[in-house]
Structure formats: C-alpha cells, structure tokens
C-alpha cells in the first residue's frame, strides 16, 4: 500500500472518517488514463506540498492508504494548464523517482473507504525522508549542477551563496 496525503475540509472530517469519500460525487479532475477519460482525486506525496492547506485550520490532512497500481504521478502544472495534446505524462507511482517533478501530484481513480483513512499526526507519525517535494527537487538539481562543475568553481559558488544567505552582522567597533 502507498500512503497518499489528501486535504479535506475540516468541517466535514467526521463524516469523511465514518463514510469515506465517493469518487463519483467528489472528484476534482477528469484526465485520460489508458486512453479513457477518468474522474480522479488529486493527492500529494508529502503533506507540505500544499503549504497553504498545511497551515490552514480550515483543512485537515488525511493519509490515504491505496494500492500503488491505482496511482499515477504528474506535474501540478498539467492540472492547471491541460496539455494541448492531452498527454499528461502520467508516471505510475511504482515507477516514479522522487524529485523528478517540482510539484508532483498523485492522481487516483477510486473512492476512498473509511478503513483507508487515518489522520496525519506530525508528532507520532514516522518521519518523512524529505522536507517537501519542491525542496527535494531543487536539492537534486543543485547537486547535479555541482557534479557537473569544476570542484574549485563549485566551492567558490557555494561559498558565495552561503555568504549571501548568512545574516549580516553589524559590529559595535565604531562606538
């Protein structure tokens, strides 16, 4: 089973935990899967991939345990701007390499049953291996860039970047 993170309206949490979420009534998009238009839910690989909902009291993050064979990963931008050729570049979840997309979204076309749902608990849950999908994406890109650079140039570039990021200290020596 794969764990997909999914945000729901906090006011409906009780009903969702008791009855689940019906795909036919609550789907968010219709996309082609295996050349057929399918209704899908859109979930996340990491709860912090949607920081607005993560920090909002109006939404609650649930963990959905679902068979990975029913899940596909695509870039968030293709959900916002549908590709002209209707090719969403779906990657089966089992084949997806974390960090490939900057903002990955997981689509699945099955209803969510109550027994598949558990609440996200940042304190008790097992730790996630990366801060967010976007952070992982950029870490991989920076590491690839550093690997391609001359070691001395990479050291200078990283030193300059760290100097730029460091907070400026003001001394009281002039007094």
Query: If you average pLDDT over residues 24-30, what whole number do you get?
Result: 92
Residue indicated by tokens 């001359």: 150
Where in the sequence is the domain holding 95, given as residue range(s)?
2-136
147 is a domain residue? no
Task: Output the pLDDT for position 97.
Answer: 93
> What is the per-residue pLDDT across 32-68, written as a single tens digit (0 to 9) for each?
988 899 999 999 999 999 999 999 999 999 999 999 9
Number of residues that this document lists for the chain: 175
DSSP 128: P
User: 162 in a domain, yes or no?
Assistant: no
Query: Which pLDDT band, with edges at 50, 70 and 90, does 123 fall under?
Result: low
pLDDT of residue 164: 65
- Contacts of the segment 136-143: beta carbons below 8 A, 24+ positions apart: 136/98, 136/99, 137/99, 137/100, 137/101, 137/102, 138/102, 139/99, 140/99
**pLDDT-derived band of residue 124, with 50, 70 and 90 as boundaries?**
low
Q: Residue 126 falls within a domain, yes or no?
A: yes
pTM recorded for the entire structure: 0.78
> How confident is the model at residue 100, as a pLDDT?
92
């Amino acid at each position: 089973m794969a764990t997909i993170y999914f945000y729901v309206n906090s006011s409906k949490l009780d009903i969702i935990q008791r009855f689940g979420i019906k795909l036919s009534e609550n789907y968010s998009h219709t996309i082609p899967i295996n050349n057929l238009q399918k209704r899908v839910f859109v979930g996340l690989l990491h709860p912090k991939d949607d920081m607005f909902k993560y920090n909002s009291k109006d939404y609650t993050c649930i963990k959905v345990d679902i068979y990975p064979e029913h899940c596909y990963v695509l870039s968030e931008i293709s959900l916002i701007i549908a590709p002209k050729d209707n090719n969403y570049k779906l990657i089966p979840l089992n084949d997806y390499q974390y960090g490939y997309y900057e903002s990955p979204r997981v689509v699945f076309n099955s209803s969510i049953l109550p027994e598949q749902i558990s609440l996200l608990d940042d304190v008790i849950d097992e730790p996630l291996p990366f801060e967010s999908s976007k952070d992982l994406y950029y870490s991989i890109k920076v590491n690839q860039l550093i690997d391609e650079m001359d070691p001395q140039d990479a050291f200078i570039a990283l030193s300059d970047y760290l100097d730029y990021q460091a907070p400026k200290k003001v001394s009281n020596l002039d007094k």
